[in-house]
């Protein structure tokens, strides 16, 4: 039955209120400076939102939680919405919370992608696009060599060899400046840092310390390459964020356009489930967006926001802040540009839902099934051989559940090994040394033995904590993972079965091609340095195989392109 307003006994203090039904399901979460007055407003004759009559009719009672101040109420509201996903609240589509880029407070800091930042770490984010956060970390590591490995290895690690780490575990010289460079770039203060680096470089040059000067020069170039391209300018855009909003049904998008020193430098967009109240949706994302970043001097909103959110923003900035809903002038132009970008994002989300991307849904479903963050990128390896000949391996890549042919690779096993375990170890070792970013899952065709072999390989390279590894055995489609119980896959794991089968198809196709090629080869082609062209030259010179079989070393040397060493190898092959 509807809530009885006469039975409400709420305090005149700040806090959070929860509308609940008789099953104790939370229907709506809100915050208030004065709980008593705010909740009573829901029972006015002319409510200001269309959803209020439905909410009041479906709810059975109202609970509340008092907080020390309105700022704490804002934080608590965000957490309760994330936990309960109320029917009448606007919701962020990623209920796990958005990821951050963090620089840890360790003696040798590392940069990491995380949804649960370490204590005392410096944070940038949140990033609604997890892929963008990962690409940013890759760019920063490539340019500045800041480590991301959880432990320091005295001998260095694979990241050092492929140019993603400056190896502070071996030599700490200059590492502090690399860390400072990343922090300055991410904080938008690169111009001050560049001036300091330029002064250091000039001073080192005057002292004839050319190696130090070269390091500073390279660091300056790295900072300049990393800076965002500045595309829109105006003398009014000094330190301002413009917020744009758009929706398609219950799909909404909110865009934050960032402008400083007269130029627009970039944007951040958030998808959300929109419940019809623009002010509520915008307020939800404002509190999420600025929870770990300092708000700018001016914020432009599509609709006025409540006073307590404005006070919270002032506390976050620790200074004066202007919150405007402009109606004319250049600030309106910037605000409308934010709306245009939000329109584009909302339309893309709507089109994506309408297209029914089954492959992407399969990847999302499988990730939830395995309790991992995502399976956007899956790499799967398989091996093939026949009676010890033509030993080959291959890997396939799935991106968002679909085969990515650019990520398909084939390998000829180079070492003189004949068992699948050592063959797979060799092939994956070669693959690791050429990677600049790691997949969400490295899947291998095999069982527990294969898993332990490749686990040991990843441990040697210091990658065990950075690559999710699994082995899929054909028997009952059993999935093996380090430190977890075996899992017999059901339909939710069909993405992994498809990846394994696709890798099996691909490696067998490659193996058949190799076998077919080997049956057409002349046995003499096995001789090092003797290819098809030189073999043709031998046949022409000696008039056929009989002449080749009877020739001496000196006679072989008379053939164009055949030197003494090759002549000796041919003669030895034929007669020994």
Check if the beta carbon of residue 517 is closer than 8 Å to that of residue 509.
Answer: no
Flag whether pLDDT at 95 surpasses 60: no
Q: Distance of CA 128 to CAs 124, 268, 317, 372, Å? A: 12, 8, 22, 18
Pick the closest to residue 431 from 451, 447, 407 (CA basis).
407
Pick the closest to residue 445 from 390, 502, 402 (CA basis).
502
- Residue 293 CA to residue 462 CA, distance in Å, equals 32
DSSP per-residue codes, 10-37: --SS-EEEEEE-TT--EEEEEEESSHHH
Domain 366-514 annotated CATH 3.30.420.340: yes
Most confident of 61-65, 89-93, 138-142, 452-456: 452-456
pLDDT at 230: 37
What burial class does residue 298 get, using C-beta atoms within 10 Å of its C-beta: 0-12 exposed, 13-18 middle, 19+ buried? buried
Fold classification of 5-89 (topology level) = GIY-YIG endonuclease (3.40.1440)
Tell me the CB-side half-sphere exposure of residue 530, using CA atoms within 13 A.
26
Check if the beta carbon of residue 476 is closer than 8 Å to that of residue 497.
Answer: no
Left, alpha or beta for 106 (phi > 0: left; psi -120 to 50: alpha)?
beta
SS3 123: strand
The model's pTM: 0.47
pLDDT at 191: 67
* Residue 74 vs residue 406, higher pLDDT: 406
Flag whether pLDDT at 149 surpasses 50: yes
* Residue 275 vs residue 302, higher pLDDT: 302
CATH homologous superfamily for 233-355? UvrC, RNAse H endonuclease domain (3.30.420.340)
Task: Tell me what the mean pLDDT of segment 339-368 comes to.
Answer: 77
- Residue 550 CA to residue 564 CA, distance in Å, equals 17
Question: Would you place residue 233 in the very low, low, confident or very high pLDDT band (cuts 50, 70, 90)?
Answer: very low
Check if the beta carbon of residue 147 is closer than 8 Å to that of residue 108.
Answer: yes
Q: How many CB atoms lie within 10 A of CB 226?
A: 18
Q: Distance of CA 92 to CAs 179, 252, 275, 564, Å? A: 32, 9, 11, 74
pLDDT at 567: 86
pLDDT exceeding 70 applies to what percent of the chain? 84
* Residue 251 vs residue 225, higher pLDDT: 251
- Residue 55 CA to residue 21 CA, distance in Å, equals 10
* Residue 209 vs residue 468, higher pLDDT: 468
pLDDT in tens, 507-530: 888 887 766 655 545 667 677 777
DSSP per-residue codes, 215-263: HHHHHHHHHHHHSPPP-EE-TT-SEEEEEEEEEETTEEEEEEEEEETTE
pLDDT at 531: 74
Check if the beta carbon of residue 276 is closer than 8 Å to that of residue 50.
Answer: yes
pLDDT in tens, 178-211: 888 888 777 666 665 667 778 878 888 888 887 8
CATH homologous superfamily for 523-575? 5' to 3' exonuclease, C-terminal subdomain (1.10.150.20)
Task: Tell me what the mean pLDDT of segment 14-23 comes to.
Answer: 86
CA 35 and chain centroid, separation? 41
Average pLDDT of the chain, as a whole number: 80
Q: Distance of CA 203 to CAs 174, 175, 197, 213, Å? A: 16, 19, 10, 8
Lowest model confidence (mean pLDDT) among 213-217, 349-353, 502-506 = 349-353
User: Is it true that the peptide bond before 512 is cis, omega within 30 degrees of 0?
Assistant: no
Check if the beta carbon of residue 123 is closer than 8 Å to that of residue 292.
Answer: yes
Task: Tell me what the mean pLDDT of segment 544-557 comes to.
Answer: 83
Task: Tell me what the mean pLDDT of segment 102-116 comes to.
Answer: 85
* Residue 237 vs residue 161, higher pLDDT: 161
Flag whether pLDDT at 498 surpasses 90: yes
Check if the beta carbon of residue 268 is closer than 8 Å to that of residue 128.
Answer: yes
What burial class does residue 538 get, using C-beta atoms within 10 Å of its C-beta: 0-12 exposed, 13-18 middle, 19+ buried? buried
Q: What is the DSSP letter of 85?
A: -
Do 233-355 and 523-575 come out as alike in CATH topology?
A: no
Q: Where are the alpha helices (DSSP H) in 526-576?
A: 532-542, 545-550, 553-557, 564-575
- Residue 181 CA to residue 193 CA, distance in Å, equals 7
pLDDT at 228: 41
Q: Distance of CA 121 to CAs 101, 107, 111, 126, 358, Å? A: 10, 12, 10, 14, 38
Break the chain into its structural domains and give their ranges: 5-89, 233-355, 366-514, 523-575
- Residue 6 CA to residue 331 CA, distance in Å, equals 46
Most confident of 365-374, 432-441, 484-493: 484-493
């Amino acid at each position: 039955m509807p809530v009885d307003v006469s039975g409400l006994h709420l305090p005149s203090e700040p806090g959070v209120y929860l509308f609940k039904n008789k099953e104790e399901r939370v229907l709506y979460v809100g915050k208030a400076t004065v709980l008593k007055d705010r909740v009573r407003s829901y029972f006015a004759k002319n409510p200001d939102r269309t959803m209020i009559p439905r909410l009041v009719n479906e709810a059975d009672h109202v609970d509340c939680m008092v907080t020390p101040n309105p700022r704490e109420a804002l934080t608590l509201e965000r957490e309760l919405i994330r936990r309960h996903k109320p029917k009448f609240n606007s919701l962020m589509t990623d209920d796990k919370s958005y990821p951050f880029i963090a620089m840890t407070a360790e003696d040798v800091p590392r940069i990491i992608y995380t949804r649960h930042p370490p204590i005392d770490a410096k944070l940038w984010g949140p990033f609604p696009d997890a892929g963008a956060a990962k690409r940013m970390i890759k760019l920063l590591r490539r340019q500045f060599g800041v480590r991301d490995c959880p432990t320091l290895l005295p001998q260095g690690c694979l990241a050092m060899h492929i140019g993603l780490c400056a190896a502070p575990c071996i030599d700490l010289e200059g590492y502090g400046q690399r860390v400072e460079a990343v922090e300055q770039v991410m904080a938008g203060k690169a111009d001050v840092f560049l001036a300091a680096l330029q002064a250091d470089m000039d001073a080192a040059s005057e002292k004839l310390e050319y190696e130090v000067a070269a390091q500073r020069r390279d660091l300056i170039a790295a900072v300049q390459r990393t800076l965002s391209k500045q595309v829109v300018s105006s003398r009014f855009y000094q330190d301002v964020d413009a917020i744009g909003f758009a929706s398609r049904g219950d799909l909404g998008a909110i865009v934050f356009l960032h402008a400083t020193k007269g130029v627009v430098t970039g944007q951040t967009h958030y998808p959300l489930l929109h419940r019809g109240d623009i002010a509520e949706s915008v307020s939800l994302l404002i509190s999420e967006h600025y929870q770990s970043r300092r708000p700018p001097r001016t914020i432009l909103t599509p609709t006025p926001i409540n006073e307590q959110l404005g006070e919270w923003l002032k506390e976050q900035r620790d200074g004066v802040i202007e919150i405007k809903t402009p109606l004319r002038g250049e600030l309106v132009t910037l605000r409308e540009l934010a709306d245009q970008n939000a329109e584009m994002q909302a339309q893309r989300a709507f089109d994506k839902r309408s297209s029914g991307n089954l492959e992407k849904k399969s990847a999302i479903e499988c990730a939830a099934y395995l309790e991992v963050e995502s399976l956007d990128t899956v790499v799967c390896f398989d091996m093939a051989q026949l009676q010890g000949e033509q030993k080959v391996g291959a890997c396939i890549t799935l991106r968002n559940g679909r085969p990515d042919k650019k990520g398909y690779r084939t390998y000829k096993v180079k070492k003189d090994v004949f068992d699948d375990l050592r063959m797979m170890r060799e092939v994956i070792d070669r693959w690791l040394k050429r990677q600049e970013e790691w997949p969400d899952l490295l899947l291998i065709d095999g069982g527990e033995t294969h898993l332990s072999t490749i686990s040991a390989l990843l441990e040697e390279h210091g990658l065990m904590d950075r690559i999710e590894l699994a082995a899929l055995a054909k028997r009952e489609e059993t999935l093996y993972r380090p430190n977890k119980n075996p899992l017999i896959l059901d339909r939710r794991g069909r993405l992994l079965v498809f990846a394994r089968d696709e890798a099996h198809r691909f490696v067998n196709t490659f193996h058949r091609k190799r076998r077919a090629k080997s049956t057409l080869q002349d046995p003499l082609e096995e001789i090092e340095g003797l290819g098809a062209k030189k073999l043709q030259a031998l046949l022409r010179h000696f008039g056929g195989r009989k002449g080749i079989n009877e020739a001496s070393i000196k006679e072989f040397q008379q053939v164009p392109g055949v030197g003494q060493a090759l002549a000796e190898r041919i003669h030895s092959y034929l007669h020994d």
